[in-house]
Structures are given as structure tokens and as C-alpha cells.
Amino acid sequence: MSTIKYFINNINKITELTYEHFILISIAIVLAVIIWFTVGVVIRNNNKLANGVIGVGSIIMSIPSISMYGILVTIPFFGLSRKSAVTALVLYAMLPIVRNVYVALNEVDKSILEAASGMGMNKKNVLLKVQLPLALPVIFAGVRVALVMMVGVATLAVYIGERNLGRLISQGITRTHTDMVLVGGILVALMAILVDMIMAFIQKKLISPGLHNSNEYINQEGC
């Protein structure tokens, strides 16, 4: 009951922090999708380059988030600002998005690509009209993983000056205020669930019904 009471008594502050949290991850995911989707497309036909890029993404993913923020704030251009927070989130999104784009594009049946070329399509049209639509489910899976991860990692951005839900958790721990920690933790978890559901809805709307039916058929055959 005390947790609910704390939430009600501080609803304005909590709403502001939730809004700032959402804005931060929204900026980061838009930039991450634009940058890493492009990189994934560029490296799709170069295995050596792809291995190098994915290797860099794996190294970045292994760096603790608080250390990543600490590294970025020492760079003059970034410092204690939202630029550092957004950059860290974009870097963490590199591996799931680039890897899924690269793998998805290369797993499209070669016979389908050959048939498209035989119909007179150039490489650009094959990519845009054949490969990408078929690869979309796997690409979306990578974006969803990146986005859900961002929601949690963004909480630690409070240590470099961000005002978001991480502030409730951080200050709650410092003050031994259980209700603050619970409210912050629950809201972060709910936001992660919400953004995943939104992405699932968008994915369902963007992916062709034929692909959905095809995937369902394949799953049934596999069983």
C-alpha cells in the first residue's frame, strides 16, 4: 500500500521522468535503426567485413553500461549530456540490429534471388523488392531485442545527468527508500513490455500476410 501511496503522491514527478525516459530511448532507437540497418545492408555481401563489424559489436556489448557512460563523458564533444546517453544506447544496439540484418538478408533462398534476377530485376530491385521483405521478420526481431535492452540500460544514464526513471531507482537505493525503487523498477519493466508489444504490433502490420502464413506452415511442418 505504501508503494501505491508514494506513486499517487508523486505522480507529476513520475510522469515527467517516464516521459524523459521514453524520449531518450525513442531518439536512440531511431538513430540506431538508421545507422545499423544501413551498415547491415552494406556488409551483406562481404563476409570478412561482416565478421569484423559483428566482432566490434560483440566487444561493445561486453562493456558494462556504466563503464560505457563513463568513457563517453570523458570525451569533450559528449561530456555530461544527452549526447553521451544516446550514443551509448546506439552503440549497444549495434550487435542485435547489424547481426540480424546481415543474417536475414543472407538467409533468403538463393533460388528466389536468381529467379528475380532472371525476371529482369537489377540488384537494387532484388534487394528492395525481394530480399528485404523476406528478411523483415528477422530484422524486426533484432530491433525488438535492441529496444527492450535500451529501456533497461537507459536507467543508468542518470549517473551522467539524465533525468529518467533511473533516478527513482538510484535515489531510492541511496535513501534506502524501498517505495522509490519499486516504483522505478516496475515502471521500467512495464515500459519494456509496452515497447515490445508496440513493436510486435508494427511488425504484424508491416509484414505481408503471405509471409505470416508461410512461417506458420513451416513451423507446423517442423513439428
Predicted local confidence at residue 208, as pLDDT: 64
Written as nine digits, the cell of 109 is: 533462398
Domain that holds residue 185: 2-222
Task: Select from 16, 2, 14, 65 the least CA-distant residue to 187.
Answer: 14
Predicted local confidence at residue 11, as pLDDT: 93
Task: Select from 85, 57, 59, 51 the least CA-distant residue to 71.
Answer: 85
Q: Is 56 exposed, middle or buried (0-12, 13-18, 19+ CB in 10 A)?
A: middle
Phi and psi angles of residue 211, each rounded to the nearest 5 degrees, phi first: -70, -40
* Residue 181 parent element (H or E): helix 178-206
Would you say the C-alpha torsion 121, 125, 129, 130 has a positive or negative sign?
A: positive
* Confidence category of residue 213, pLDDT binned at 50, 70, 90: very low
Could you report the per-residue pLDDT of 21-76, keeping only the tens digit for each? 999 999 999 999 999 999 999 998 899 999 999 999 999 999 998 899 999 999 88
User: What amino acid occupies position 126?
Assistant: V
Taking CA 134 as the corner, what is the angle to CA 106 and CA 132, rounded to the nearest 5 degrees?
70
Cβ proximity of 150 and 162 under 8 Å: no
Q: Give the single-character DSSP code of 163.
A: -
Predicted local confidence at residue 37, as pLDDT: 95
Taking CA 172 as the corner, what is the angle to CA 169 and CA 176, rounded to the nearest 5 degrees?
140
Q: 89: domain CATH number?
A: 1.10.3720.10
Q: Look at the chain and report how many structural domains it folds into.
A: 1
- The number of C-alpha atoms within 13 Å of 116 and in the hemisphere containing its C-beta is 18
Residues 6+ apart with CB under 8 A from 199: 140, 143, 144, 147
Whole-angstrom Cα distance, residue 100 to residue 88? 20
Cβ proximity of 136 and 211 under 8 Å: yes
Phi and psi angles of residue 170, each rounded to the nearest 5 degrees, phi first: -60, -50
Phi and psi angles of residue 108, each rounded to the nearest 5 degrees, phi first: -65, 135
Predicted local confidence at residue 223, as pLDDT: 37
Per the prediction, the chain carries an average pLDDT of 87
Give the mean model confidence (pLDDT) for residues 70-83. Answer: 87
Taking only Cα atoms into account, the Rg of the chain, rounded to an integer number of angstroms, comes to: 21
Q: Is the pLDDT of residue 216 over 60?
A: no
Could you report the per-residue pLDDT of 91-138, keeping only the tens digit for each? 999 999 999 999 999 988 888 888 888 887 888 888 888 888 888 888
* Confidence category of residue 221, pLDDT binned at 50, 70, 90: very low
